[in-house]
Structure 1
Amino acid sequence: MKLLVFNSLFITVFILTNNSMKEVTMPIRQAVHAFINERLQAKLEKAKSQQEIDDLKLKYQPYTWIEDAARRAAQIQFATHTVKGIHPDSKGININAQFTEIPDGLVNSSTLKKHALDVVGNAAALDIYKLLSVVIDEKTTVLDLVLQEDERLLPALANDQQQAKQHLAAFKGISVSSTENAKTYELMKQLLWPVNSDAQQQDNYLNIVPLYPTSFVHQVYHNLQQIRFSDEVKLAKEARKNEKSHPSGYVILPDVAYTKLGGTKPQNISQLNSERGGRNYLLPSLPQVFKSSGTKAPVRNDSVFSGEFNYFARKDIERFCREVIDESRNNRSVREKRELIIQDILATLMTYGQNVRRLDAGWSEGSNLKAAHAFWLDPKRAETDAEWAELREQTDWKTELAHDFGLWVNQKLNDAYNNNQQIHLADTEQKAWKHDMADLIKQTIREGWGVFE
């Protein structure tokens, strides 16, 4: 009798346990198989023959389709950072990064509490991603069960438990990435970061290859969509249009642009890119614009090379000292730097001169400015002052201006070294700077720039 009760108890427990498993696994299996059947129905609607219908029904038998999907799983990969977002033809490695927290105040991909995993690879295998996206309940998808290696999923994958485990392992492999065999590609951006101060001599650099932060970009996209086009925002805009109040109002984001990745086939870049229609928002990232009170007439200066221009050119003079005079060598590279810096100073001078030349006519009358410099900076005065215009026409003020430029460069460089006789610049250098400016003046006249007319 006791033995019978024991057996009876055993049978009861087994049945209850088995029923309990069915209660959990049946919804999972139903959800997975319903997804496959939905795809079958979509195909059947387009079938043109009975043979095609029969073939489709065989192909979309749930376990048959899942076996084929597991075989194709290696053709796609989950990623948080991708290569095709940098260049559509890149063939480097995609990464499904495992994030660690960073200090407060810095924003990067690890800031996100949950990452929308992107899918890259063969676009024809994206049906596998859709399978893994099947929702089981409010908090769980098939992918969640795969990553947890939840055995409740096995009956949905195959009748044979061992085969089901193999399918589960194949699907889980989609989420695995490794940087051990990382490789870059010629179309990807690469930054050589010096490891130490002698990196150039030792050829000692880290090769930094930026990847496209696709999960982060996707979150930003949805945040901006919510800010710009949510139902609540539409109501707030409508209220404003009708001159009515709204409890929350809305935010305006000026100067928002977007790039389109993938052209007419955004799915070739990635799944998330396809969901966005290829659109990737760009927010303005520009330095602050300071409003100037405008260029002032140099009426108190005796030379164009003093005052404001002297201030504007100070950094280039510092560059000249650092990269040319302090450089012990006098090779081709140093000579090219010297020429480049002088050209930068002349470009600054032309810009400053153009701004002054736009001022009202006659501002130079009664100023302390040297005549040759006034002839250049106050050309409009010739329209109202005939005597001054004639004198301007008869004077070789351009040559005098170039001469004074050479003197100014020498003075600035000598002053920088406290008139050190070992570094003292004299007539030879002054003539070289004069020649550079004279050449520039001739070029502007020849090409019709109107700067020295």
Structure 2
Amino acid sequence: MTEGPDQTSRARLFHNAISAFIHERREAKLKGSEANQATADKYAYATWLADAARRVTQIQAVTHVLKAIHPDARGSNLHRVPQSLPSHSEIGTHVLGNDYVDDVVGNAAALDVYKFLKLEVEGRRLLDWLQDDDSDLLSALDSDPKVAHEWATSFKGLIRSSGKPTSHGLAKQVYWSVSGEPADDTGFHLLQPLFPSSLVHAVHTDINKARFGENNKAARLAKRNNQPHIGVYRDYRNLVVRKLGGTKPQNISQLNSERGGVNYLLASMPPQWQQGQLKHFLFISSVLERLRRFEDVNELILALCALLESAPKPTSATRLRRERIEQAFAQALAAFGLINREQLEPGWTRHPDCRLPLCEQLWLDPLRAELPWREDHLEEDQAFAAAIESGDWPSQVAHRFGNWLNAILQQRGLPVGDAEHAHWARQAMIDADYLLPRPSASLNDEKDIAHG
């Protein structure tokens, strides 16, 4: 078919896009081989479209794929628009909303038809325009309205129901108790889990952006060159790759083929907190060097910098924002202390490579004061216990925290000084003092008797 004189400029836009796609397919088919007129004729505009409209029945757009459960299963696949699914707090296909990709199953030899329907014009797929019965696209398909509508109907059949859903002997099935009585054989529903291909593809895309994206590359380069880096580094630890389809991943589905058969499995295990490892606190002059990497402390710092750099008006809304950040800082500092006190064995600050100031040792290792005193370090252990009893360490830790935070803000060019330092310290000291587990007086009395 050639462009008709009655076509609108928009119809010609569709026509040109379709012609370019067919021409590209033709050139790829004939490349490296002797010119074959019979083969070339198959790629005439109308001939190829008619053949594609016939072959589209061999494939189906889906969101849930059965063959990913077992490659020889012959039951139903499903197409469910995420917005039509019930909303749950758990992660599922429903969370994708409008941002999802259809998968395609069926005869792999007909997948070129799906690539054709994915062709974008004016930011939308041809399939989307067909579903809207776009008159310009219909005009571009064929000058005969009857032929154009027949082809359009066939192409729109890519998204279709397979009739009554059917299962298969190779599909996994689960008996789910709905009556709450395990002995009641009639109180079960038989469920068949299906592989959520659209969701899996979205997760795969997100993980790959984290692993191989420019932001993470820049962060890794900065780390390798021992340079500072402002930004978020994302990592998925202990990933497992499950390959589907072997050497022919397209036999499972189109999206599986695009992933090369790769399907990520996330680690299902509790997190292993690294902050509590003793080696992280040795050979350093302050644990505050580690605080910035704790939970969301770095995000709090960036939020505080952004607030102060914006020079906001002294309103109640500004004060509320600042107070929320300050409270979060105090809670993070308290949590940092609490977690490390619980995870590290009492007495770890006795390690010869511990170079922390005494106030930080008292903060993170207070139960050391309850350990038996060492004969060869008797004065040191007695001084540690006396320092715990004096109760001066919270203000000293808070003072160091204020200095630490002020130094970070000053690096950003913010004019902070003694007043801000005192404010940060006052906020930090409250929770630090509250969460301190104090040693018992009776035990110290026994030590005084034993060594007095």
- Bin of the TM-score, shorter chain as denominator length: 0.5 to 0.7
Structure 1 regions of 5+ residues with no counterpart? Answer: 1-17, 291-453
Contact kept? 2:63, 2:78, Cα under 8 Å:
yes
Q: Answer yes or no: is 1:205 the counterpart of 2:205.
A: no
Work out whether 1:63 is the aligned partner of 2:49: no
Q: Equivalent of 1:29, from 15, 21, 28?
A: 15
Structure 1 residues 112 and 247, CA gap change in structure 2 (3 angstroms): same
Corresponding position of 1:142:
126
Residue of structure 1 equivalent to 2:346: none
Alignment match of 1:96 (pick from 63, 79, 83): 79
CA gap 1:200/1:20 in 2 versus in 1, 3 angstroms: farther
Change in CA separation of 1:199 and 1:95 when aligned onto 2, cut-off 3 Å: same
Post-superposition offset of 1:155: 2.4
- 1:294 corresponds to: none
Of 42, 47, 57 in structure 1, the residue corresponding to residue 33 of structure 2 is 47
Whole-Å separation in 2 of the counterparts to 1:229 and 1:288: 23
Indicate the SS of the match to 1:86.
coil
Q: Deviations over 1:94-149 (max 9, x none)?
A: 11113336456322101012210001000000010110111212x21212112222
In the alignment, is residue 121 of structure 1 matched against residue 88 of structure 2?
Answer: no
Aligned partner of 2:258 in structure 1 is: 275
CA contact under 8 A between 1:33 and 1:156: conserved in structure 2?
Answer: no
The superposition leaves residues 170-196 of structure 1 with CA deviations (integer Å, 9 ceiling, x where unpaired) of 111111125x51110111110122342
Q: How far, CA to CA, are the matches of 2:187 and 2:89 in structure 1?
A: 32
Q: CA deviation at 1:249?
A: 4.0
Contact 2:87 2:94 in 1 (8 A): no
Q: Cα distance, 1:202 vs. partner?
A: 5.1
Alignment-mate amino acid for residue 258 of structure 2: E
Closer/same/farther in 2, CA of residues 247 and 19 from structure 1, 3 Å limit: farther
Aligned partner of 2:156 in structure 1 is 172
Compute the TM-score of the two structures, normalised by the length of structure 2. Answer: 0.56
Q: How many residues align?
A: 269
Q: Tell me the SS of whatever aligns to 2:46.
A: helix
Counterpart of 1:252?
Answer: 235
CA distance in 2, matches of 1:94, 1:288: 36
Question: Does the 8 Å contact 2:58/2:110 carry over to 1?
Answer: yes
Asked if the contact 2:179–2:187 (Cα under 8 Å) also holds between the matched residues in 1, the reply is yes
Query: Can you list the C-alpha shifts for 1:336-376, whole angstroms capped at 9, x where unaligned?
Result: xxxxxxxxxxxxxxxxxxxxxxxxxxxxxxxxxxxxxxxxx
| Counterpart Cα distance in 2 of 1:19 and 1:200 | 75
2:118 is aligned with 1:133: yes
2:385 aligned residue: none
Distance 1:91-1:244 versus aligned 2 partners, 3 A rule: same
Report the Cα distance in structure 2 between the residues aligned to 1:209 and 1:249, rounded to whole angstroms.
Answer: 39
- Partner letter of residue 29 of structure 1? H
Question: Structure 2 matches for 1:154-173, cutoff 5 A?
Answer: 154-173=138-157
User: What's the counterpart of residue 85 of structure 1?
Assistant: 68
Displacement of 1:197 in angstroms is 5.0
CA distance, structure 2, for counterparts of residue 253 and residue 215 of structure 1: 20
Q: Which residue of 2 aligns with 1:74?
A: 57
| Aligned residue type for 2:93 | S
Q: Residue 28 of structure 1 aligns to which amino acid in structure 2?
A: F
| Identity among equivalent pairs (%) | 38
> Residue 105 of structure 1 aligns with which residue?
89
Question: By how many angstroms is 1:204 displaced?
Answer: 4.7
CA distance in structure 2 between the aligned counterparts of 1:119 and 1:86, rounded to whole angstroms: 15
SS in 1 for 2:74: coil
2:217 maps to 1:231? no
Question: 2-side partners of 1:160 and 1:258: how far apart?
Answer: 50
Instruction: Give me the whole-angstrom Cα distance separating, in 2, the residues matched to 1:169 and 1:42.
Output: 28
After superposition, residues 254-403 of structure 1 pair within 5 angstroms as 254-287=237-270
Q: Helix, strand or coil: the match of 1:286?
A: coil
User: SS in structure 2 opposite 1:193?
Assistant: strand
Distance 2:160 2:127 in 1: 13
Distance 2:258 2:108 in 1: 13
Q: Is 2:86–2:94's contact at 8 Å kept on the other side of the alignment?
A: yes
* Alpha carbons 1:79, 1:118 under 8 Å: kept: yes
Task: Deviation per CA, 1:372-412: give whole Å up to 9, x if none.
Answer: xxxxxxxxxxxxxxxxxxxxxxxxxxxxxxxxxxxxxxxxx
Deviation at 1:198, TM superposition (A): 6.0
Instruction: Supply the RMSD in Å over aligned alpha carbons.
Output: 2.3
Return closer, same or farther for 1:71/1:285 CA change in 2, 3 Å cut-off: same
Distance 1:35 1:112, change over 3 A: same
Cα drift, residue 278 of structure 1: 0.5
1:80–1:115: 8 Å Cα contact kept in structure 2? no
Give the 3 Å change call, closer, same or farther, for CA 168–197 of structure 1 in structure 2. Answer: same
Separation (CA, whole Å) in 1 of partners of 2:180 and 2:195: 30
SS at match of 2:76: coil
TM-superposition CA deviations, 1:299-323 (whole Å, max 9, x none): xxxxxxxxxxxxxxxxxxxxxxxxx
d(CA) in 2 for partners of 1:209 and 1:87? 12
Q: In structure 2, how many angstroms separate the alpha carbons of the residues matched to 1:108 and 1:32?
A: 36
The reply on whether 1:186 has 2:169 as its aligned counterpart is yes
- Quote the Cα distance in structure 2 between the aligned partners of 1:41 and 1:255: 44
* Structure 2 Cα separation of the partners of residues 198 and 106 of structure 1: 26
Choose from 142, 151, 171 the match for 2:135.
151
Is the radius of gyration larger for structure 1 or structure 2? 1
Amino acid at match of 1:30: N
Q: C-alpha displacement at 1:151, in angstroms? A: 2.0
3-state secondary structure, aligned to 1:88: coil
Cα deviation per residue 1:261-297 (whole Å; 9 max; x = unaligned)? 001111111110011010001111125689xxxxxxx
Distance apart, 1:248 and its partner CA: 0.7
In 1: Cα distance, 2:105 partner to 2:149 partner:
24
